[in-house]
Amino acid sequence: MKKALFIFLGLLSFSGLAQKKPALVVGIVVDQMRYEYLNKYYDRYSDKGFKRLMREGMNCTDNHYNYAPTVTAAGHASVYTGTVPAIHGIVGNDWIEVATGKKMYCVDDTTVQTVGSKSKAGLMSPKNMFTSTITDQLKMAQNYKSKTIAIALKDRGSILPGGHTADAAYWYDSADGYWITSSFYAKELPTWVQKFNLEGRPQKYIQKGWNTLYPIASYTRSAEDDSPYESKLSGEKAPVFPHELKGGNALEVIRTTPYGNNLTKDFAIKAIDEEKLGKNGTTDFLAISFSSTDYVGHSFGPQSIELEDTYLRLDQDIADILAHLDAKLGKNQYLVFLTADHAVAEIPSYIKSKRLPGGSFDNGKAINEAKAALKKEFGELELMTGADNYQIYLNHTNLERLHITKEAVAKVLEKSFKNQAGFAELVDMRAAALSPIPAIYREMIINGYNQARSGDYMYLLKPQWFSGYKTGTSHSAVYAYDTHVPLLFFGWNVKPKEINQRTHISDISSTLANWLKINEPSGSIGKVIQ
């Protein structure tokens, strides 16, 4: 009997260990991060940031987005819902509501008020997202006794990860340099946030100016500093170091410097302490999005010294967060994942200078000529309500009134677009499965199509072509340079491992749900990463 009791107690003890959950989950989204950046700057990183995550954690080396277009709002929503825009409804940063023809920003909500500022930057909420998030499911599983806090410079980078049930979502308002929220979450800012805002940290960072972290001659992985293909910060004569940060509204310019990430890190660490995250007797969730990488990437491009310097400094920010979690909660008491909301294309003018194919697509000219072609063929009645996300929205009321078929419109549109440099294919989004393009791209378009918010046609461009930008770069294509992003898991119960099989961004929430033994989000299509 003693032996049996000993075995029973041992099994009970083992069962208890197996059911133990992390005190805190920390989701990190790096805005506009290529998978390549983990390796490109690897030997310049410290041992305590990206390298630590890669060496001690699980590295999914072939992780991709499985829909188009790849943009910030859709990316953050997809990471946390475990599904695609066709299901969660966040089809872009902006879109046109098909039923009304009106433009919609992804997190717009005029029924709420700004909290923490006198500006309109707080008229935001997650109401436009159709499904639950992993953060919602975790709160539900714990009878809403856990805490969820979401933080990003961008409103959409905070609100969408926080989900519908977040205790707080905070974003940066450059009107005053304050962290703000909306009345969707609270009537007033917590005292600790008010005190943080009054410390004037953005102003202190700006006063430093931005020079390279290390001697500029050591940035040999990047192109020359004085490049005609890069954009200038406000008030600058050239896009070169040192950046003095004295032009325009410096509280806005700080976004396009590593200091925006520093500020985000400072605020996140303060939130861990003040909200006692990980010490509430439940599994709490902290969602952090580092936005400055996107601003820097857009302005200076993937080959710039500015971007390299931003990642070397972000490495230090991540190291600071991990060290703080170690000290506050203890190693293996927290679970971290790190990914990105999209990657990025090269600057077209830069790659053309290297004799590589690509270019800038004149979107305004293409749309205006398409409208003119439609009017020439069918008369003056407007047949196009608008264009967004490389999609054309048709006026179906006028089509029916004139007895014009979509097929007839498509022929005119395709003929017009074929005259534009960089155009590849016009795809009927509702019938994308029949398009004569590779199956992988057909599936991405289907996954990105939501009939209430997407256009009738998507015009695909050739690789390394995108709209606008004489300097700087962008994203949102179906191609791998926009879809291949990092995915790292680290901490609680994660063993060092490299996974080279294809994984998708929608797998993140399914994997977390499986590990935490909770329901996956309501629209989840992801698979558990083995």
The domain limits of the chain are 31-86+106-351+480-516, 363-420+423-461
Catalytic annotation, pick one of 61, 70, 72, 339: 72
- 13 backbone φψ class: left, alpha, beta (φ>0; ψ -120 to 50): alpha
Say what the pLDDT of residue 17 is: 40
Q: Residue 123 corresponds to which tokens in the numbers above?
A: 């008229």
Asked if 34 contacts 65 with a C-beta cutoff of 8 angstroms, the reply is no
pTM of the model: 0.95
72 is a catalytic site residue: yes
Task: Tell me what percent of the chain is helix, strand and coil, each rounded to the nearest 5.
Answer: 40, 15, 45
The CATH code belonging to domain 31-86+106-351+480-516 is 3.40.720.10
Report how far residue 394's alpha carbon sits from residue 379's, in angstroms, rounded to the nearest whole number: 15
Of the candidates 178, 203, 195, 309, the residue with the CA atom closest to the CA atom of residue 254: 203
Per-residue pLDDT tens listing for the chain (530 residues): 555 554 444 444 443 344 489 999 999 999 999 999 999 999 999 999 999 999 999 999 999 999 999 999 999 999 999 999 999 999 999 999 999 999 999 999 999 999 999 999 999 999 999 999 999 999 999 999 999 999 999 999 999 999 999 999 999 999 999 999 999 999 999 999 999 999 999 999 999 999 999 999 999 999 999 999 999 999 999 999 999 999 999 999 999 999 999 999 999 999 999 999 999 999 999 999 999 999 999 999 999 999 999 999 999 999 999 999 999 999 999 999 999 999 999 999 999 999 999 999 999 999 999 999 999 999 999 999 999 999 999 999 999 999 999 999 999 999 999 999 999 999 999 999 999 999 999 999 999 999 999 999 999 999 999 997 789 999 999 999 999 999 999 999 999 999 999 999 999 999 999 999 999 999 999 999 98
Report how far residue 142's alpha carbon sits from residue 148's, in angstroms, rounded to the nearest whole number: 12
Q: Which fold has domain 363-420+423-461?
A: Gyrase A; domain 2 (3.30.1360)
Say what the pLDDT of residue 12 is: 44
The response to whether 155 counts as a known ligand-binding position is yes
The response to whether 93 counts as a known ligand-binding position is yes
